[in-house]
Structure 1
Amino acid sequence: MRAGRYDAIVMAASSGGIDALRIVLGALDARLRAPVLIVQHTASENGHALCELFAAASVIPVIEAEPRQPIVGGCAYLAPPGYHLLVEAGPRAALSVDDKVCHVRPSADVLFESAADVWRSALIGVVLTGANDDGAAGMLAIRSRKGLGIVQLPDEAEMREMPEAALRLAGADHVLRLAAIGPLLNQLCG
C-alpha cells in the first residue's frame, strides 16, 4: 500500500481505552495529514478533561467535536460525552442524541458507518479495547466499502470483547499490538 492513500481515521475504545488511546495518539506524527475521529465510551460528563488528557500525550491537537465543525487533517476530534459523533459531507462533524447503539452514546458504529459513507475506500477504522460489541458493525461498513480495518490484538487488550467482536463480524486487514498501530497510521496517512 502506498502512503497517502487514506484520507481519514476513525478510532473507538471503551473499557481500558483511555490508556490505549494515549498510546496510539502519542505515536502519531505531527505531519499526519488525515483527521482522526474518536469515540471513547466514558461515564464522565467532562469531555474537555478527556481532550486535555489525550492532548498531553499527542503532538496533534485533540479537540471536542462541535456541530457543523469542518473536519481538517492533522487534528483529532473526540465525540462529546452523551452525543453520537457523525460525519457529514464537507466533511463536517455532526452530533446527535438519537437512541443509544450497543447500549452506548457515543457509539463507534454510528461514527464508523457515517464516516464510511463519506470517505469510502479512503477510510481507516481502528477498534481498540472494550467490553461490548460496539464498532463491529461499523468496521464491517468500512471494510465493505474497501476501507482498511485495524484491530488491537485481543490478547493485549484490557477488555477483549470489542476487538473480538470486530474480528468475528468484519475481520481486519491488520491485528496489531498498540505500539504498532500509530506507526502504521503514520505510514498510511503521512
Structure 2
Amino acid sequence: MPTGVAIRDVREQLFDAAERILLRDGPSALTSRAVTEEAGCAKGVLHRHFADFDAFLAELVRDRIARLDGQAAELAEAAGTGAVIDNLAEALTAVFQSVAVAVVALITFRDELRARLRQSGRTGGVPLLAEATAMVADYLAAERDRGRIAADADLAALAPTLIGAGHLLFADRTAPLPDDEAVRRMVAAVLGGVLS
C-alpha cells in the first residue's frame, strides 16, 4: 500500500491478518513483516499503532478474549433451553473453531507475550482458555440452578475438563476438524454422571 493513503480500522485489519497467518501457518510464521504483508499495508503501519510486535500480539490476544463475551452471553441465554449437551457442544465448537487454539499455541510459543499479559493484570490460567473455562462454569452453574445439572456437581472440575478435552479435540490444525458428533460424545462423557 502506498504511503500517505489512509487505512480504515487499521487495528482490526492487522488483527485479522495475524489471525489468518496463525490459522494457516501457525505461530512460528507470525512476524511483523508477515502481518503487514498479509494486511496489504506498509511495514511501518504496525509500529505506528503499537510500541512493538509483542505489544501488538498482547492486544490481539486481549481483543480475541473480548470476543468471548458475546459467546458467553449466548451460552448464558441458552440455560434452561435445549439439551445441555447440545448447548455445550455448540459453544465449545464455536470457541475452538475460532482462532483460540492458535492463540494458545502463540502464547505458549512467545515468552515475552506471556510476560506482557501477566503485567497487564491478567492472572491465572492460559489466556483465552481461562475465559472459556469461566464461560462454561457460569453456564453449568445456571443449569444447576435450574435443576438440569446435579446439585452436588463439581463445576470447578467439570468446566476445565470440558475445555481441556475440547482443546485436545481441536488442537491439531493439520487434521480435519472433529465432527459435531465427536464433540457431543466428549461433552456427554464428561457430564454423564451429573445430568439430571
Q: TM-score range by the shorter chain?
A: under 0.3
More helix per residue: 1 or 2? 2
TM-score (normalizing by structure 1): 0.27
| Greater RCO (CA < 8 Å, at least 6 residues apart) | 1
Scaled by the length of structure 2, the TM-score of the pair is 0.26
